[in-house]
C-alpha cells in the first residue's frame, strides 16, 4: 500500500471525508473515488452506480465499490441529480485503480446547491487530515 507521501491528490479537486473527489466543470460536478481509497481497497472488481436521473442529498449513498473481500459505500459529496454515469466501469472496474481521476470517474452531478462544494476539503487540507489519521 502507498505511503501518504506517495498519494496523488490533484490540487484542482475537492475532497470529502469518505474519499470521494469532486471537480467543478462549468455548472456540473464530476465525482469519483480518490487515490487513497482505491489503494486501500486494492483491486476493484465491481462498481454499482446509480441511474441517470436519480437524485440524492449530500451524504447519501449513491454507489458501492467492491474488491474481492470488501465492500465500500460512496456518499454524495454534494447533493443533486445524476446527469451522467460512467458505464465503462461495468466492463472495466479496474479503471478506478488505474485512473481514479481520469477514466475511472463515477458520475456527473447537476448540483442542487453549488455552494456545497465549499464544504469539501482542498488537497492540502485533505493531506493534512490523512497525515493526522496515520
Residues near another protein, by CB under 8 A:
43, 45-46, 66-71, 93-94
Instruction: Look at the block and give the residue holding cell 465491481.
Output: 46
Query: Minimum distance from CB of 26 to another protein (Å)?
Result: 34
The neighbouring-strand residues paired with 20 are 33
Q: How far apart are CA 124 and CA 129, in angstroms?
A: 9
Query: Minimum distance from CB of 19 to another protein (Å)?
Result: 18
Nearer to another protein, 12 or 52 (CB): 52
- Coil/strand/helix, residue 95: helix
Query: Minimum distance from CB of 41 to another protein (Å)?
Result: 11
Closest C-alpha to 41, from 103, 110, 97, 119: 97
Distance of CA 68 to the CA centre of its chain: 19
Nearer to another protein, 3 or 26 (CB): 3
Query: Minimum distance from CB of 71 to another protein (Å)?
Result: 5
Nearer to another protein, 51 or 115 (CB): 51
Nearer to another protein, 43 or 88 (CB): 43
Q: Which helix (H) or strand (E) holds 25?
A: strand 20-25
Amino acid at each position: 500500500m502507498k505511503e501518504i507521501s506517495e498519494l496523488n491528490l490533484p490540487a484542482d479537486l475537492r475532497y470529502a471525508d469518505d474519499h470521494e473527489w469532486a471537480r467543478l466543470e462549468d455548472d456540473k460536478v464530476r465525482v469519483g473515488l480518490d487515490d487513497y481509497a482505491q489503494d486501500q481497497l486494492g483491486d476493484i472488481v465491481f462498481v454499482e452506480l446509480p441511474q441517470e436521473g436519480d437524485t440524492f442529498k449530500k451524504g447519501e449513498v449513491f454507489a458501492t465499490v467492491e474488491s474481492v473481500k470488501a465492500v465500500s459505500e460512496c456518499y454524495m459529496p454534494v447533493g443533486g441529480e445524476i446527469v451522467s454515469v460512467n458505464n465503462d466501469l461495468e466492463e472495466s472496474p479496474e479503471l478506478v485503480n488505474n485512473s481514479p481521476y481520469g477514466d475511472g470517474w463515477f458520475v456527473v452531478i447537476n448540483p442542487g446547491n453549488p455552494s456545497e462544494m465549499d464544504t469539501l476539503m482542498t488537497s492540502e487540507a485533505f493531506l493534512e487530515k490523512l497525515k493526522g489519521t496515520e
